[in-house]
Amino acid sequence: MEIKTKFSNGDKVYTLTRTSTQKIIICPCCIGNGRILGGDNKTYRCPECYTTGHLKVDNEYTWTVVGPYTIGQVRVEITGESEGYSPGGIFDNYGSQKYEYIEQYMLEETGIKSGTLHYVDLLYATFEEAQEACDKRNQEGE
């Protein structure tokens, strides 16, 4: 069996990472004052923002390009297709399986053996390729 991978040990790659930024708005209840005027002409702490004057709302997610990183380990997992074993036997918990090919990489900068696994679809050989994929994901709102 010959296994060909997109990258090899020592190759430089770029990857995409998803970051989130929390949006903050001025509290519509107290208009940013943190306090509201009650019917008795006393000021009370705003029940919406609890005197901060602002509210945290939905997160905004964006993709960014990071790297270059160095490939330090290549992992390939291939599952062969099988119809499974006959029911009632000692192997009846082994059902049929489909062919599956998984290609993963570990990068020297993020740790090898106990670091982050990077899937092949998020790794790119050049910054330009990575930036193009990044822009596409940000436009689609993934």
Give the model confidence (pLDDT) of 13-35 as tens digits: 999 998 888 889 999 999 999 99
- Report pLDDT for 91: 57
Give the model confidence (pLDDT) of 45-81 as tens digits: 999 999 999 998 888 889 999 999 999 999 998 877 7
Q: Can you tell me the distance from the alpha carbon of 56 to that of 24, in angstroms, rounded to the nearest whole number?
A: 5
Asked if 104 and 6 count as a contact pair (C-beta separation under 8 A), the reply is no
Q: What are phi and psi of 100, to 5 degrees?
A: -140, 135
- Greatest extent of the chain over all pairs of C-alpha atoms, in Å: 83
- Report pLDDT for 87: 56
- Report pLDDT for 79: 79
Give the model confidence (pLDDT) of 91-107 as tens digits: 555 666 677 889 999 99
pLDDT at residue 90 greater than cutoff 90: no
